[in-house]
Amino acid sequence: MTDAMTPGPTSEDPVLAATGSVPNGPGEPPALDATHHASALLRVSDVRKVYGEGHTEVVAVADATMAVDQGEFVALLGPSGSGKTTLISIVGGLLSPSGGTVTLGGSDVTGLSKKDLTAFRAERVGFVFQSANLVPFLTARENLLYVASLVKGTSRAQAQARADGLLEELGLGARAKNLPEQLSGGERQRVAIGRALMNDPDLVLVDEPTAALDTAMGRQVVELLRREIKGRGKTGIMVTHDLRMVEYTDRVFEILDGHLTHVEEPSALRH
């Protein structure tokens, strides 16, 4: 289990290291916040994830409740090992929770079979992982086209037009035929954003998108993410432990030791 349960700041977490913990702002508890979002597209209710049992039991996520509206771009903030990656993995259909429910547009994700979860991830979720994670032997354009091929009924011409449009919009028109190894870190992350948007998903999940980028490039990427997600009316969740990136989000959920603690306005976290 790489998502260790070590609470508190880590050496790779300079901002949190400086503050000593997740900022304890004035935001309200996520469960209470969720009641204000009655028509939320994404609803996470009492989600729990437990690994092991008995003496070896580790609670990775404890009764998490949150609601995110359509068109919202929120941050999930927490130190390494706080459970944020586990939580978005459950939201994105990569992991099954030990308890609780996740609904997206009214559909219960937690009740889906493995096969249906695979289709759910292809059709309704866009992922942007750390370090881009592109398929190394496919060009930028082919990385986008491959995801389109995972959805039945997508015509080749339609997919090509959409891939070309996305790459153009992301400033990668001239790099479409380049392999990932021929792209810079920022360009790779932009291709990953294009791939995440390729199938017009309802939800975009972004995991530490700036982890392999310098600050300036990180800001550019997150700004671009916000523009694309908001501009297309998608719902986005960005996992980060970098406080500098939360200013691009609409709300910030904070998680510590598997517990969603409170929801903040990004402005409340400025130092």
Q: Which of 47, 68, 145, 269 binds other proteins (CB under 8 A)?
A: 145
Binding of other proteins at residue 158 (CB under 8 A)?
Answer: no
CB atoms within 10 A of CB 148: 20
Task: Compare residues 150 and 268 and give the one whose CB is closer to other proteins.
Answer: 150
Task: Compare residues 2 and 56 and give the one whose CB is closer to other proteins.
Answer: 2
Task: Compare residues 106 and 136 and give the one whose CB is closer to other proteins.
Answer: 136
Closest separation between CB of residue 194 and other proteins, Å?
Answer: 13
Q: Which of 5, 58, 112, 138 binds other proteins (CB under 8 A)?
A: 138
Q: Are 98 and 151 in contact (CB under 8 A)?
A: no
Distance separating alpha carbons of residues 20 and 2, to the nearest angstrom: 22
Residue 254: what residue type? Answer: E
For the chain, the first-to-last Cα distance in angstroms comes to 33
Residue 135: what residue type? Answer: V
Closest separation between CB of residue 57 and other proteins, Å?
Answer: 16
Q: Are 186 and 217 in contact (CB under 8 A)?
A: yes
The binding track of 201-220 with respect to other proteins, each residue x by CB under 8 A or -, is: ------x-------------
Q: Which of 148, 166, 255, 256 binds other proteins (CB under 8 A)?
A: 148
Distance separating alpha carbons of residues 71 and 234, to the nearest angstrom: 5
Helices 185-197/156-169 angle, 10° precision: 140
Q: Which of 69, 123, 169, 202 binds other proteins (CB under 8 A)?
A: 123
Task: Compare residues 120 and 248 and give the one whose CB is closer to other proteins.
Answer: 120
Distance separating alpha carbons of residues 89 and 97, to the nearest angstrom: 9
Task: Compare residues 241 and 262 and give the one whose CB is closer to other proteins.
Answer: 241
Task: Compare residues 145 and 170 and give the one whose CB is closer to other proteins.
Answer: 145
The stretches of 47-184 forming alpha helices (DSSP H) are 84-91, 114-124, 140-149, 156-169
Closest separation between CB of residue 269 and other proteins, Å?
Answer: 24
Distance separating alpha carbons of residues 257 and 271, to the nearest angstrom: 24
The H-or-E segment that residue 196 falls in is: helix 185-197
- Restricted to residues 54-113, the positions that interact with other proteins (CB under 8 A) are 85-86, 88-89, 94-95
**171 is written with which tokens?**
């400033």
User: In the complex, which residues of this chain contact other proteins (CB under 8 A)?
Assistant: 1-3, 85-86, 88-89, 94-95, 115, 118-123, 125, 127, 129-130, 133-138, 142, 145-150, 179, 195, 207
